[in-house]
Structure 1
Amino acid sequence: MPPRSDVHYFGAGPAPLPTSVLERASQALLSYKDSGVGLCEISHRSGDANQILADAKAAMTTLLDIPEDYEILFLQGGGSGEFSAVVYHMVSLWVEKRRIRAQEDLTVAIADGKTEGPLEQKVFQRLKQEVDEELKLDYLVTGSWSLKASQEAARLVGAPHVNVALDARTENDGQFGIIPPESTWKLTARTREGGPGSAMVYFCDNETVDGVEFPSFPESLQACPEDAVDDDAPMVIADMSSNFISRKVDVSKYSVIFGGAQKNVGNAGVTIVIVKKSLLPPTANLAKPDLLRKLNLPVGPIVFDWPTIAKNNSLYNTLPIFDVWIAGQVMADLVQTCGSKKIAGQQEVSDEKAKLLYGTLDRYPQVYRVVPHQSVRSRMNICFRVAGGDEQKEKAFLAGAEKRGLMGLKGHRSVGGIRASNYNAVTLDSAKLLAKYLEDFAQGV
């Protein structure tokens, strides 16, 4: 069995973890804080568990400069679970905003004699019409994961309520690999008179399968001008599962950021949600379950209910505290390593590794073809083909890589090819070894 130091793992997730964290974890599994009880055995209601949560939140807040008006939640269910959770929550918010506005308008109309009949019935009739005709969830589909998210939304609320504002495949011969200009996106219109437009705008910041990453926050999703109605501001939801804590992010531009931990943060089993407090009670009002059922809209499981999770400090049900501890250790180490640069320090390393690998691939265009367009190349998931996708040569490439201890390079089963995942725990030395192999293989073909 080769020593860990001889293996350089580029798997897409679960991904490598820092060896120092794993060494500490091995001790904590046997006896946490020399208590004689392992970390997987302590109560999630204990003081130790609460401290682990607090430490993880503090490290994340420091790294990303998370504003005070955001809540950090830890849940289970992975990114796929949050595909559903965001729909449940944002639809409920949209419905309640519309209900309140309808009630205010109709109360005045009845008082003025402009309409008559029971107020509650009138409100429901108008609300039902608005849900049927106007409820939309906008999705920017740039790869496999955003496609899955849009499909889950359609499954939950019905396809007519899902607006695929962008399907990148339509501009790229049916394949993912580009992000078309924002001028071509068909976002749900927001008007001063109409209140909220879409219930949310969702995008996946980095597509793990397809190697596509948004180079920056989309201009068209910026907050509305100061003279716009508050409710018109877009509710931006970003899935950052595979580029979380890899670059500087202006959290204030997002309503919600979520991600599974098993790429850059920790091991599979815990999902992180950063949500604006104004979207949670007591500030925000959510539609009651009975009303949602009457409107033929879904009511989500309580383990995906953000208000419930927030109210209980992420401990409504049994949270995998070991997984939170791992994530906290990874982030605490980054806080110490990056110092005053915070997450910008890690971004410098991530960018250097990506530049090294892409630069090597680009030097041998006769052997390698990077799949996504240069303008949207992911720093995290470097997807390419060997010899135009020749099956035998790609097998030879993978076999040769394994002989050098370069593991986990096979592309996703849905697209094939080669994928080198450049997550935080992949060291610069590992990236240099892969670059050297890319050089040697190209010269030997």
Structure 2
Amino acid sequence: MTRSFNFSAGPSTLPLPVLEKVQKEFLSFQGTGMSIIEISHRSNYFEEIMEQTEQLLRELMNIPNNYKVLFVQGGASLQFSMVPMNLLTSYNTSYYVNTGSWAKKAIAEAEKYGEVHVQNCPIHHIPKLSLDSISLVDYVHITTNNTIEGTKFASIPNTGNVPLVADMSSNILSEEYDVEKFGVIYAGAQKNIGPAGLCIVIVREDLVGQNTLHTLPTMLNYETYVKSNSMYNTPPTFNIYIMKLVLEWLKQLGGVQQIEKINKEKAALLYNFLDESTLFYSNVHIENRSLMNIPFNTTSSQLNEQFISEATSAGFYFLKGHRSIGGMRASLYNAMPIDGVKALVSFMKQFEMKARMSNV
């Protein structure tokens, strides 16, 4: 069987060795004669998976001991509500940096629970922000990488004593971050971690259980997950199992430091071509170009449609851009092999040559 190149923004491609191990163990996990999806979450088998998964994540991200790691269902979108519900503790006010579509959705949810101050940024550029003088807010929220717009923060803003909350859904584990700069980090799994349906929340322990302004439903309270080790109810067991395998793959590869080098190399292959091309182009400010999500266009919508159609036929899947901005988008998450990017660039060169010849 020939594997296609999956450039989807999520759910995204997974490492082939992980898929092969899942396939091998699916009918009988560790010789039990049971599939991992059949094994009780209260069993020693699964408790060991949970412990190993958390330890691997702590090691790969260098997470300090005073941070809790939570496994939550509902995807990152549920965190749009859980963050304000848990962190609006003193001022009932938050500060959001609006850098794109997902930030807008987070803002809309936060506005249901308190006052929100918003700083808007251009769609293709995130200016360097001075946020250390912000006061009388409970937290500052950013989206480190914008999946749709293809932008990222070139540097993480300093928010002083105000906790910084980051949605890292589309670039967690793709480059190194200092966890201590953040009060909360959350990320949906379906980009660099595993299948959709799991969300990772990394929260500083002093921010847990401090809410006195709202009555929190049990399953929307970070304290519930801390006290129960994320097993107050049945967690997404299969997703966590696959996450463990992905983290093992990443560790064997050399960890986040090594994958960041690989990701920069992959992104440079495509960006360099876009910068030299007379047909394809990127609108994103060079300083803020994402390593994970690369939107691009041709000189006409007709050529865009033709490119997407021919690329799909050639085995390059899900290159159509998000409906809100159109064009194309290539998502180069950790599991995308460098050969996939090289093959895509080669195909784009051939497409450009044909387009040029047809206009001669």
TM range (shorter): over 0.9
| Stretches (4+) displaced over 4 A | none
For residue 275 of structure 1, the aligned residue among 179, 197, 203 is 203
**Unpaired segments of 5 or more residues in structure 1?**
96-133, 170-175, 191-196, 224-232, 293-297
Q: How does 1:377-392 map to 2 (within 5 A)?
A: 377-387=289-299, 390-392=300-302
SS at match of 1:402: helix
Equivalent pair of 2:134/2:162 in contact (CA under 8 Å): no
SS of the residue corresponding to residue 37 of structure 2 reads helix
Q: Residue type of the partner of 1:148?
A: K
SS at match of 1:39: coil
Q: Distance in 1 between matches of 2:134 and 2:340?
A: 47
RMSD of aligned C-alpha atoms? 1.5
Contact 1:255–1:275 at 8 Å: present in 2 too?
A: yes
Secondary structure of the 1:419 match is strand
Correspondence for 2:110 among 147, 153, 158 = 153
1:135 CA displacement: 3.2
1:305 aligns with 2:221: yes
1:85–1:300 Cα contact (<8 Å) kept? no
Q: What SS does structure 2 have at the residue aligned with 1:258?
A: strand
The CA distance in 2 between the partners of 1:180 and 1:267, in whole Å, is: 33
Structure whose CA Rg is larger: 1
CA distance in 1, matches of 2:154, 2:347: 28
| Aligned counterpart in structure 1 of residue 64 of structure 2, from 64, 67, 70 | 67
**2: CA distance between counterparts of 1:36 and 1:425?**
30
Q: Residue 311 of structure 1 aligns to which amino acid in structure 2?
A: K
Distance, in Å, in 1 between the alignment partners of 2:215 and 2:19 is 39
Measure the CA separation in 1 of the matches of 2:71 and 2:108.
24
Counterpart residue number, 1:17: 14
Q: Is the 8 A contact 1:361 1:438 kept in 2?
A: no
Q: Secondary structure at the match of 1:437?
A: helix
Aligned to 1:375: 287
The alignment status of 1:443 with 2:353, answered yes or no, reads yes
1:204 and 2:130 correspond: no
Structure 2 residue matching 1:259: 3-state secondary structure = strand
Report if the CA contact (8 A) 2:145-2:290 is conserved: yes
- Residue 348 of structure 1, CA deviation: 0.4
Equivalent position amino acid for 1:168 in 2? C
Q: What letter corresponds to residue 152 of structure 1 in structure 2?
A: E
Query: For the residues of structure 2 that align with 1:334 and 1:181, how far apart are their CA atoms?
Result: 31
8 Å Cα contact 1:255-1:276 kept in structure 2 = yes
Q: Which moved more, 1:408-417 or 1:19-28?
A: 19-28
Deviation at 1:73, TM superposition (A): 0.6
CA distance in 2, matches of 1:441, 1:23: 34
Once the two structures are TM-superposed, the CA of residue 155 in structure 1 deviates from its matched residue by: 2.5
Q: Deviations 1:112-139 (Å, cap 9, x if unpaired)?
A: xxxxxxxxxxxxxxxxxxxxxx532000
C-alpha displacement of 1:188: 7.5
Cα deviation, 1:239-272, whole Å, max 9, x if unaligned, reads 0000010001100110010000000110001100
Question: 5+ unaligned residues in a row in structure 2: which ranges?
Answer: 356-360
Higher helix residue share:
1
Aligned 8 A contact 1:52 1:321 in 2:
no
Amino acid at match of 1:274: I
Tell me the matched-pair count. 355
Aligned partner (choices 47, 54, 59) of residue 57 of structure 1: 54
Amino acid at match of 2:52: D
Give the corresponding residue for 2:117: 163
Task: State the SS of the aligned residue for 1:370.
Answer: coil
* Deviation larger for 253-262 or 21-30: 21-30
| CA deviation string 1:357-399 (max 9, x = no partner) | 10011111x3122132111111100001111xx2211111112
Displacement of 1:403 after TM fit?
Answer: 2.5
The answer for the alignment partner of 2:154 in structure 1 is 215
Match of 1:116 in 2: none
1:404 is displaced (CA, Å) by: 2.0
Deviation, 1:156, is: 3.2
User: What letter is aligned with 2:127?
Assistant: P
Partner secondary structure for residue 237 of structure 1 = strand
Give 3-state SS (helix, strand or coil) of 1:41's partner.
coil
Q: Distance in 1 between matches of 2:147 and 2:46?
A: 32
1:242 to 2:170 alignment: yes
Secondary structure at 2:334's aligned position in 1?
A: coil
Give me the whole-angstrom Cα distance separating, in 2, the residues matched to 1:251 and 1:30.
Answer: 38
- Say which SS state the counterpart of residue 25 (structure 2) adopts: helix
Give the whole-Å Cα distance in 1 for the aligned partners of 2:66 and 2:200: 16
| TM-score, with structure 2 as normaliser | 0.95
Aligned-pair identity in percent equals 37
